[in-house]
Amino acid sequence: MTDTNIDSRAASRLADALQSPDAPTRLQAALTAGTHANPAYLEVLIARCRVEPDFYVRDMLTWALTRHDRELTVDLLLPELGSATAQARSQALHSLSKIGDPRAWPAITASLLTDDDGEVARAAWRTAAGLAPDEEKSRLSDVLITQFARGDRDLQLSLSRAFVTLGAPAAGAVEKAATYPDPQVRIHAIATAHLMDNPDDGFDAAVAEARKVVALRAAPRIDE
Protein backbone atom coordinates (compact mmCIF):
# COMPACT_ATOMS: atom_id res chain seq x y z
CA MET A 1 0.00 0.00 0.00
CA THR A 2 1.38 3.43 -0.96
CA ASP A 3 1.97 6.23 1.51
CA THR A 4 -0.83 8.17 -0.18
CA ASN A 5 -3.30 5.38 0.48
CA ILE A 6 -2.14 5.07 4.08
CA ASP A 7 -2.56 8.82 4.63
CA SER A 8 -5.98 8.77 3.01
CA ARG A 9 -7.16 5.97 5.28
CA ALA A 10 -5.76 7.75 8.36
CA ALA A 11 -7.54 10.96 7.38
CA SER A 12 -10.78 9.03 6.85
CA ARG A 13 -10.52 7.45 10.30
CA LEU A 14 -9.91 10.89 11.83
CA ALA A 15 -12.95 12.31 10.04
CA ASP A 16 -15.10 9.47 11.35
CA ALA A 17 -13.87 9.97 14.92
CA LEU A 18 -14.49 13.72 14.73
CA GLN A 19 -18.10 13.06 13.76
CA SER A 20 -18.76 10.97 16.85
CA PRO A 21 -21.73 12.15 18.92
CA ASP A 22 -19.52 11.75 22.00
CA ALA A 23 -17.50 14.92 22.77
CA PRO A 24 -14.71 13.10 24.69
CA THR A 25 -14.20 10.86 21.64
CA ARG A 26 -13.87 13.89 19.41
CA LEU A 27 -11.51 15.51 21.91
CA GLN A 28 -9.29 12.43 21.92
CA ALA A 29 -9.30 12.30 18.13
CA ALA A 30 -8.14 15.91 17.90
CA LEU A 31 -5.46 15.27 20.54
CA THR A 32 -4.19 12.25 18.60
CA ALA A 33 -4.15 14.23 15.34
CA GLY A 34 -1.93 16.84 16.98
CA THR A 35 0.32 14.34 18.73
CA HIS A 36 0.91 12.42 15.50
CA ALA A 37 0.82 15.26 12.99
CA ASN A 38 0.18 14.31 9.39
CA PRO A 39 -0.43 16.76 6.51
CA ALA A 40 -3.33 14.55 5.46
CA TYR A 41 -5.13 15.58 8.65
CA LEU A 42 -5.15 19.30 7.94
CA GLU A 43 -8.23 19.52 5.73
CA VAL A 44 -10.14 17.21 8.07
CA LEU A 45 -9.26 19.30 11.12
CA ILE A 46 -10.18 22.56 9.42
CA ALA A 47 -13.46 21.14 8.16
CA ARG A 48 -14.36 20.10 11.69
CA CYS A 49 -13.52 23.57 13.02
CA ARG A 50 -16.39 24.92 10.92
CA VAL A 51 -19.05 22.88 12.70
CA GLU A 52 -17.70 21.61 16.05
CA PRO A 53 -20.16 22.65 18.80
CA ASP A 54 -17.99 21.95 21.86
CA PHE A 55 -15.62 24.70 23.02
CA TYR A 56 -13.01 22.32 24.40
CA VAL A 57 -12.95 20.22 21.26
CA ARG A 58 -12.59 23.36 19.13
CA ASP A 59 -9.66 24.42 21.30
CA MET A 60 -8.05 21.03 20.82
CA LEU A 61 -8.60 21.24 17.07
CA THR A 62 -6.71 24.53 17.08
CA TRP A 63 -3.92 22.98 19.12
CA ALA A 64 -3.73 20.11 16.64
CA LEU A 65 -3.41 22.58 13.77
CA THR A 66 -0.53 24.36 15.51
CA ARG A 67 1.36 21.05 15.63
CA HIS A 68 1.43 20.78 11.84
CA ASP A 69 3.68 22.43 9.29
CA ARG A 70 3.13 26.16 9.66
CA GLU A 71 3.26 27.07 5.97
CA LEU A 72 0.82 24.36 4.90
CA THR A 73 -1.55 25.12 7.75
CA VAL A 74 -1.65 28.87 7.14
CA ASP A 75 -2.21 28.32 3.41
CA LEU A 76 -5.30 26.23 4.21
CA LEU A 77 -6.60 28.52 6.95
CA LEU A 78 -6.51 31.79 5.03
CA PRO A 79 -9.37 30.91 2.62
CA GLU A 80 -11.55 30.19 5.66
CA LEU A 81 -11.53 33.90 6.48
CA GLY A 82 -13.85 34.45 3.51
CA SER A 83 -16.27 31.71 4.50
CA ALA A 84 -20.00 32.44 4.75
CA THR A 85 -19.97 30.44 8.00
CA ALA A 86 -19.19 32.63 11.01
CA GLN A 87 -17.64 29.79 13.02
CA ALA A 88 -15.29 28.98 10.15
CA ARG A 89 -14.08 32.58 10.17
CA SER A 90 -13.72 32.83 13.94
CA GLN A 91 -11.95 29.48 14.33
CA ALA A 92 -9.56 30.23 11.48
CA LEU A 93 -8.70 33.56 13.09
CA HIS A 94 -8.23 31.88 16.45
CA SER A 95 -5.91 29.29 14.94
CA LEU A 96 -3.95 31.95 13.04
CA SER A 97 -3.49 33.90 16.26
CA LYS A 98 -2.00 30.82 17.92
CA ILE A 99 0.27 30.08 14.96
CA GLY A 100 1.47 33.68 14.79
CA ASP A 101 2.57 33.67 11.16
CA PRO A 102 2.93 37.27 9.85
CA ARG A 103 1.58 36.16 6.47
CA ALA A 104 -1.89 36.22 8.01
CA TRP A 105 -1.79 39.96 8.74
CA PRO A 106 -2.81 41.23 5.25
CA ALA A 107 -5.82 38.88 5.29
CA ILE A 108 -7.34 40.49 8.40
CA THR A 109 -9.55 43.00 6.65
CA ALA A 110 -11.70 45.81 8.03
CA SER A 111 -14.75 43.67 7.31
CA LEU A 112 -13.44 41.00 9.68
CA LEU A 113 -12.56 43.59 12.33
CA THR A 114 -16.13 44.91 12.15
CA ASP A 115 -17.84 41.58 11.46
CA ASP A 116 -21.50 41.39 12.49
CA ASP A 117 -20.73 38.21 14.42
CA GLY A 118 -19.20 39.10 17.78
CA GLU A 119 -17.02 36.00 17.98
CA VAL A 120 -15.52 36.69 14.57
CA ALA A 121 -14.82 40.32 15.46
CA ARG A 122 -13.32 39.31 18.82
CA ALA A 123 -10.99 36.81 17.16
CA ALA A 124 -10.04 39.34 14.49
CA TRP A 125 -9.18 41.99 17.10
CA ARG A 126 -6.93 39.62 19.02
CA THR A 127 -5.23 38.23 15.93
CA ALA A 128 -4.69 41.61 14.30
CA ALA A 129 -3.29 43.15 17.49
CA GLY A 130 -0.80 40.32 17.79
CA LEU A 131 0.30 40.32 14.15
CA ALA A 132 0.20 43.98 13.11
CA PRO A 133 3.59 45.39 12.11
CA ASP A 134 4.60 48.47 14.06
CA GLU A 135 3.97 50.73 11.09
CA GLU A 136 0.38 49.44 10.77
CA LYS A 137 -0.68 49.66 14.41
CA SER A 138 -1.94 53.23 14.21
CA ARG A 139 -4.08 52.46 11.15
CA LEU A 140 -5.44 49.35 12.83
CA SER A 141 -6.34 51.40 15.89
CA ASP A 142 -8.39 53.79 13.75
CA VAL A 143 -10.54 50.84 12.70
CA LEU A 144 -10.78 49.35 16.17
CA ILE A 145 -12.05 52.54 17.83
CA THR A 146 -15.19 52.23 15.70
CA GLN A 147 -16.01 49.17 17.81
CA PHE A 148 -15.97 50.89 21.20
CA ALA A 149 -19.11 50.23 23.30
CA ARG A 150 -20.05 47.26 21.14
CA GLY A 151 -21.67 44.23 22.72
CA ASP A 152 -21.58 42.95 26.28
CA ARG A 153 -18.96 43.27 28.98
CA ASP A 154 -16.85 40.35 27.73
CA LEU A 155 -16.76 41.61 24.15
CA GLN A 156 -15.76 45.07 25.33
CA LEU A 157 -13.03 43.57 27.48
CA SER A 158 -11.67 41.73 24.44
CA LEU A 159 -11.44 44.99 22.52
CA SER A 160 -9.67 46.71 25.41
CA ARG A 161 -7.18 43.86 25.59
CA ALA A 162 -6.45 44.30 21.90
CA PHE A 163 -5.57 47.95 22.56
CA VAL A 164 -3.37 46.94 25.49
CA THR A 165 -1.52 44.60 23.12
CA LEU A 166 -1.08 47.38 20.56
CA GLY A 167 0.29 49.72 23.21
CA ALA A 168 1.63 53.23 22.56
CA PRO A 169 0.87 53.38 18.79
CA ALA A 170 -2.84 53.09 19.66
CA ALA A 171 -2.89 55.82 22.29
CA GLY A 172 -3.79 58.64 19.92
CA ALA A 173 -6.80 56.83 18.50
CA VAL A 174 -8.07 55.91 21.97
CA GLU A 175 -7.65 59.51 23.14
CA LYS A 176 -9.69 60.67 20.15
CA ALA A 177 -12.48 58.18 20.92
CA ALA A 178 -12.62 59.49 24.49
CA THR A 179 -14.06 62.74 23.10
CA TYR A 180 -16.79 61.18 20.90
CA PRO A 181 -20.40 62.31 21.43
CA ASP A 182 -21.65 58.89 22.52
CA PRO A 183 -21.08 58.65 26.31
CA GLN A 184 -20.82 54.85 26.16
CA VAL A 185 -18.01 55.14 23.63
CA ARG A 186 -16.27 57.69 25.85
CA ILE A 187 -16.59 55.41 28.89
CA HIS A 188 -15.13 52.43 27.03
CA ALA A 189 -12.32 54.53 25.57
CA ILE A 190 -11.37 56.09 28.92
CA ALA A 191 -11.42 52.68 30.61
CA THR A 192 -9.25 51.29 27.82
CA ALA A 193 -6.76 54.14 28.14
CA HIS A 194 -6.52 53.38 31.85
CA LEU A 195 -5.80 49.71 31.15
CA MET A 196 -3.18 50.61 28.58
CA ASP A 197 -1.36 52.54 31.29
CA ASN A 198 -2.16 50.02 34.05
CA PRO A 199 -2.55 46.59 32.40
CA ASP A 200 -2.71 44.76 35.73
CA ASP A 201 -5.82 46.67 36.87
CA GLY A 202 -9.27 45.15 36.56
CA PHE A 203 -11.55 46.01 33.66
CA ASP A 204 -14.70 46.48 35.76
CA ALA A 205 -12.97 48.93 38.09
CA ALA A 206 -11.62 50.85 35.10
CA VAL A 207 -15.12 51.10 33.60
CA ALA A 208 -16.59 52.24 36.92
CA GLU A 209 -13.99 54.98 37.20
CA ALA A 210 -14.53 55.97 33.56
CA ARG A 211 -18.27 56.33 34.22
CA LYS A 212 -17.49 58.76 37.03
CA VAL A 213 -15.18 60.77 34.80
CA VAL A 214 -17.79 61.02 32.03
CA ALA A 215 -20.53 61.94 34.50
CA LEU A 216 -18.41 64.67 36.08
CA ARG A 217 -17.51 66.15 32.71
CA ALA A 218 -21.19 66.18 31.72
CA ALA A 219 -22.41 67.73 34.99
CA PRO A 220 -23.43 71.39 34.83
CA ARG A 221 -21.01 73.79 36.45
CA ILE A 222 -22.15 75.80 39.42
CA ASP A 223 -20.64 79.25 39.36
CA GLU A 224 -19.70 80.57 42.78
Q: Is residue 174 part of a domain?
A: yes
CA distance 224 to 30: 70
Instruction: Answer whether residue 216 shows pLDDT above 90.
Output: no
Question: Could you tell me if residue 17 is inside a domain?
Answer: no
Is position 183 within any domain?
yes
Question: Quick check: is 211 in a domain?
Answer: yes
Question: pLDDT tens digits for 102-122?
Answer: 999 999 999 999 999 999 999
Q: What is the pLDDT of residues 149-179, one digit of tens each?
A: 999 999 999 999 999 999 999 999 999 999 9
Cα distance between residue 81 and residue 77, in whole Å: 7
Q: Is residue 148 part of a domain?
A: yes
pLDDT (average), residues 11-32: 97
Number of domains in the chain: 1
Contact between 54 and 25 (Cβ < 8 Å): no
Q: What is the pLDDT of residue 174?
A: 97
Question: Domain range holding 209?
Answer: 137-219
**Is there a domain that residue 81 lies in?**
no
Task: Work out the average pLDDT over 42-50.
Answer: 97
Say if residues 98 and 113 touch (Cβ distance below 8 Å).
Answer: no
- What distance in Å separates the CA atoms of residue 128 and residue 131, rounded to the nearest whole number? 5
Domain assignment present for 202: yes
Residue-level pLDDT at 187: 97
Decide if 130 is inside a domain: no
What pLDDT is attached to residue 7? 84
